[in-house]
Amino acid sequence: MTIMLLPGIALSSVRSLSEAADRDTPVLLARNLRELALAARVIAGNVRTFWEQSRSLLATEGMQAPELRKNTALFLECLVTLSEALTRINRLARRMGDPLADVCSNVAEVEARVQSLQAEISGVHELVSRPVGPDFLERARKAAEEDPGVYLTHEEMLAGFQDPDH
């Protein structure tokens, strides 16, 4: 989970750089910005890897929706922080003009990756965050009241899954 803290660290680093921008030499500031942009790229890559691991877990074990909701919310929070750090790096780099054009293009590329990951995770978050509709509750209540009829046991249900002719 340490990786989820890294965007926050990057953001506080760029804040320190913003404050130091007026007194530091342009060369020092440029070097720091360049390093920070590279660090942001690595962080974005690691967050993507971490998300892929969560998807693997979803494929092999599955998760209950409340757990998945918390998981995706944490990812989204982390990506928002990273986006904010990237925006600030970009703003500072633009202020310095041409010498930092490579930083601007690096940041733009990382921003695009972050946005794509955000869109993917937002979709999953929305899927598992839909509120219980009144229809669902009404139908569930009705089903609970209905004549119980013939219920299948879990073993019969399993047999039905395993045997397509069952």
Partner 1 sequence: MSFSLEYKPGIREYLRGLSSLSRQGRNRLFAMIDFDLRQHGDTLLADANRCLDVEKAIFQYEPAFLDKDGDGLIHHFRIAVDASPAAVGVLRIIYVEESSR
Counting contacts by CB under 8 A, is residue 151 touching partner 1?
Answer: yes
Considering the rule CB under 8 A, would residue 130 count as an interface residue with partner 1?
yes
Confirm if 41 and 50 have CB atoms less than 8 A apart: no
Say whether residue 149 binds partner 1 (CB under 8 A).
yes
- Whose Cβ is closer to partner 1: residue 22's or residue 146's? 146
Q: Is 2 in the site for partner 1 (CB under 8 A)?
A: no
144: contact with partner 1 by CB under 8 A: yes
Shortest CB 49 distance to partner 1, Å? 16
* Environment class of 75 (CB within 10 Å of its CB; exposed 0-12, middle 13-18, buried 19+): buried
CB burial of 92-126 (b: ≥16 within 10 Å; e: otherwise) equals bbeebeeebeebbebbeebbeebeebbeebeebbe
Site for partner 1 in 57-96 (CB under 8 A): 58-59, 61-66, 68
Among 55, 74, 102, 109, binds partner 1 (CB under 8 A): 55
User: Distance between CA atoms of 75 and 42, rounded to whole angstroms?
Assistant: 16
Shortest distance, CB of residue 162 to partner 1, whole angstroms? 8
Residue 130's φ and ψ, nearest 5 degrees, are -65, 135
Interface stretch with partner 1, choices 16-24, 28-36, 95-103, 141-149 (CB under 8 A): 141-149
Alpha helices in 21-62 (DSSP H): 26-60
Q: Are 128 and 63 in contact (CB under 8 A)?
A: no
Min dist CB 75 to partner 1, Å, is 14
Binding residues for partner 1, rule: CB under 8 A, are: 55, 58-59, 61-66, 68, 123-124, 126-128, 130, 132, 136-137, 139-141, 143-145, 148-154, 157-158, 160-161
